[in-house]
Amino acid sequence: MPLPADLTQFLSSVHPYDSLPDTVLTDLARACEARPVAEGETIFKVGDTISDLFVIAGGEIEITDETGVQLSLLGPRNSFGERALLRREAASRTATAIAEAILIVLPAARLFELMEDHPSVARFFDRRRPARADDRSLATMSVAQLMTRAPLTCTPDTPIRSAAEQMQANRISSICIADDSGFRGIVTLRDMNGKVVAGGADPDAPVSTIMTANPLTLGAGALVTDVLHLMVERGIGHIPIVDGPRLTGIVTQTDLTRAQAMSSADLVGRVAKAGDAMEMARATGDIPKLLVQLIDTGNRHEVVTRLITDIADTATRRLLALAEAELGPAPVPYLWLACGSQGRQEQTGVSDQDNCLILSDDVTEAQMPYFAALARFVSDGLDRCGYVYCPGDMMATNPRWCQPLRVWRDYFSGWIARPDPEAQMLASVMFDLRPIGGDESLFGSLRDDTLRAAAKNSIFTAHMISNSLKHQPPLGLLRGLATIRSGDHRNQLDLKHNGVVPVVDLGRVYALQGQLTVANTRARLEAARKAGILSKSGGADLLDAYDLIATMRLDHQARQIKAGEKPGNHLDPSVLSDFERSHLRDAFVVVKTMQSAVGSGKGALG
């Protein structure tokens, strides 16, 4: 294999060196060496001291762990050796050329100089999430993070009475006045009381006759402190937010109070005390703001999703209590369970509901309508709170998923004994079950017995492994990022089905193999690593990859919420920096490698 004719030109095509000034890049090329490597040659092995970084110019390099299991298969423009270099420790992996290769050897001392002098290089090799300022502080929070978007409006000729009725129906203290030319003014409860109730204005007159025309406004780029100072100075409680003539939002004293007090505990408390689903929905409507706040204050992804899921759990338990208050006490013990993202405690800004009911075997046919009504009450309430009905009807409202314990035992026994495609799908979903409200004794033995039986059935395990490989990371030729080719999400990545879900599926397989009772994906990976199902280095790589993908997904949703958009899972990779794209690709390569190890019969890298 020929050596690169121009190392400077080659390095200029490799990130992060492509960000270096020309003179620095030329000096770097002079410090490097192009080294040919024969097929089968070992570059370094476990326990070796590494003094160089290696960049592949041609060929393929296999990276294996201490047990000899493949962790990565690297091609041109990938680098390796940085893990041991940056940790200043002996190699925990072995690197071998599986085909004739050319390596660019970069001395460690030169790499450390680059990281010291050039932030782009330092960021590339430091994969830890950067610390963020505490944006919960009113001194730094922007109005865009706090304001109520799309505030209630009416036209100037709307009758005062109609405007008041709209305010009452929406339980708000102001209404904005706008027409085709843009924002015109605002009417508050103070206006209604002072000008109509006390002042005698005709309730049928146009609302424009009592509005405050051209009120004080701010742009979305203002800080919340600007709002606070303006309210204190002028003695007002409402600040419209505008973009030119267009009204984009409003900030009220209530918003400021919530900004100071908002926390997952605050929302849990509001949900737990709600008198009905409508009041509960007003609390859960603040979840997007909480999600942004949790992310902006630097919380790890598994903390964010756990706190968001706690709110759904509380809503479910409150609805169960409200249902029993309306329907009467349950005739026999029951247990409401969640599966899917709620079951795994991994809810984000986009969640439907997946749930079921396990009933005591003492239940009679005559008592089943009670539980059908209970399920409908809770499911309808969750939908009103933003947890939309499951499109696959995986809900307790489906009679199939509202059954006595003996039927659930038959379900799991049948799926394990006859693992057809539907059984694989259902078993995958149901292995994520987590009790939410009711008699938890109905679940413990079912879970433990099912895990034992499933782990002993090699055919079922093989089918589960096969099923876990259906969702593949979005990697194309040469392991570059492969975006969706057509449809509404053309040229985008699906960070859920092709990013997070493949790791979720792997975690479920590891839990099955190790009979692990935890349902959370990250907890499953940690437990599998501790139990030896995942090797130390393989587990570390997969955890790092999962953390990066899950964090990027949440960051994307936070950006959408800030922009006034509905949060989703599809990301255009062109909005990412080269640094982000490179590490996202590396994370997908790790997941793909782990899938290959499981699918090849090597188990879970243990």
Whether cis (ω within 30° of 0) applies to the bond prior to 240 is no
Pairing of strands 174-179, 182-188: antiparallel
pTM of the full structure = 0.67
Pairing of strands 94-97, 61-64: antiparallel
Q: Given this model, what pLDDT does residue 137 score?
A: 53
- Render pLDDT for 520-564 as a digit per residue (tens, 0 to 9): 999 999 999 999 999 888 898 999 999 999 999 999 999 999 888
Domains of the chain in start order, with CATH, are 7-125 (2.60.120.10), 143-260 (3.10.580.10), 263-453 (3.30.460.10), 469-599 (1.20.120)
Q: Work out the angle at residue 119's Cα, subtended by the Cα atoms of residues 118 and 121, and round it to the nearest 5 degrees.
A: 75
- Render pLDDT for 55-99 as a digit per residue (tens, 0 to 9): 998 888 888 877 776 667 777 888 888 888 887 888 888 999 998
Of all residues in the chain, the percent with pLDDT exceeding 90 is 51
String of DSSP letters for 131-150: P---TTSTTT-BHHHHSEES
- Across the chain, mean pLDDT equals 87
Across 115-119, 362-366, 468-472, least confident range: 115-119
Burial class (CB in 10 A: 0-12, 13-18, 19+), 466: middle
At 30, is the secondary structure helix, strand, or coil? helix
- Render pLDDT for 18-27 as a digit per residue (tens, 0 to 9): 878 888 889 9
